[in-house]
């Protein structure tokens, strides 16, 4: 999907991105969200270690029913490695929401969140809706970042905050809440652009969304082909 195309309907094709250091579990979170039943199933022997690190980029598409319309929410994942910073401007462009992920057992990844958000704000066209996730909370004996610290950081970023476990699926549904907030925010902005709140927006009632109805996974072959 080429988001540089000016003909792209901003409400039909909505972009949400994953941010955070390499190894915090961004790709695993996305896989768990996209495969809530089969991932981690004892019968299939899937585990967090089965997911390969992202090389370049990939995304899934979540279709949300909003009254009689359908919104296509594309959730993008890219490597957290510094050598891919060259794709940053394209990755952040036309981003309506961002999922910022750190590893609760890795304080460095927590301390890096502010840098990721600063980069996001530097490149993004409008202020995205933020979700802060402290992942790997199942590793209770290794926790180095307390939930209270995550909550304080979220308040400073004006973000919602959840601790998750991509391994067990704990709180992964918080991504649905982010999607709801993104669509609600876009609805409000569209009303402002119309200049008349009595005009019915195409996303009237966006706060009352259904759960995701379908997801499709796409992968990018190389970083230079990124059209995000």
Question: Has residue 145 got a pLDDT over 60?
Answer: yes
pLDDT for 46 equals: 44
pLDDT in tens, 61-113: 888 876 667 889 999 987 655 545 656 778 888 899 999 999 999 999 999 99
Res 58: pLDDT: 79
Full-model pTM: 0.75
User: Which numeric CATH code is attached to 13-225?
Assistant: 3.40.50.300
DSSP string for the chain: --TT-TTS-TTTEEEEEEE--TTSSHHHHHHHHH-TTTTT-TTTT--GGGSPPPSSEEEEEEEEEETTEEEEEEEEEE---GGGGGGHHHHHTTEEEEEEEEETT-HHHHHTHHHHHHHHHHH-SS--EEEEEEE-TT-GGG--S-HHHHHHHHHHHT-EEEE-BTTTTBTTTHHHHHHHHHHHHHHHHHHHHHT-TTSPPTTTTTTSPPPP--EEEEE-S-GGG---
What's the mean pLDDT in 167-181? 93
Whether residue 217 has pLDDT greater than 50: no
Is it the case that residue 137 has pLDDT exceeding 90?
A: yes
pLDDT in the model for residue 215: 41
Alpha carbon distance 68, 38 (integer Å): 31
Instruction: Give the chain's end-to-end CA distance (angstroms, integer).
Output: 7
Instruction: Give me the half-sphere count of Cα atoms (radius 13 Å) on the Cβ side of residue 191.
Output: 15
Domain boundaries, the chain: 13-225
Q: Is the pLDDT of residue 143 over 80?
A: yes
Question: Model confidence over 5-50: pLDDT tens digits?
Answer: 333 455 578 999 999 998 999 999 998 998 877 544 444 444 444 5
Percent of the chain whose predicted confidence (pLDDT) is above 70: 64
CB atoms within 10 A of CB 215: 16
Interatomic CA distance for residues 144 and 105, integer angstroms: 5
pLDDT value, residue 2: 30
Name the percent of the chain lying above pLDDT 90: 45
């Amino acid at each position: 999907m080429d988001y540089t195309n000016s003909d792209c309907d901003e409400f039909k094709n909505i972009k949400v991105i994953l941010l955070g250091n390499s190894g915090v579990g961004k790709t695993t979170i996305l896989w768990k969200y996209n495969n809530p039943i089969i991932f981690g199933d004892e019968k299939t022997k899937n585990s967090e270690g089965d997911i390969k690190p992202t090389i370049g980029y990939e995304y899934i598409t979540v279709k949300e029913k909003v009254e009689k319309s359908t919104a296509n929410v594309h959730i993008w994942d890219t490597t957290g490695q510094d050598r891919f910073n060259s794709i940053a401007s394209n990755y952040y462009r036309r981003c309506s929401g961002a999922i910022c992920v750190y590893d609760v057992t890795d304080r460095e990844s927590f301390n890096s969140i502010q840098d990721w958000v600063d980069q996001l704000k530097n490149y993004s066209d409008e202020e995205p809706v933020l979700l802060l996730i402290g992942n790997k909370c199942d590793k209770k004996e290794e926790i180095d970042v307390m939930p209270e610290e995550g909550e304080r950081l979220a308040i400073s970023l004006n973000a919602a905050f959840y601790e998750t476990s991509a391994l067990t699926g704990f709180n992964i549904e918080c991504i649905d809440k982010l999607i709801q907030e993104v669509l609600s925010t876009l609805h409000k902005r569209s009303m402002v652009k119309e200049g008349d709140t009595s005009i019915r927006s195409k996303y009237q009632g966006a706060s009352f969304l259904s759960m995701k109805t379908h997801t499709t996974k796409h992968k990018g072959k190389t970083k230079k082909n990124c059209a995000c």
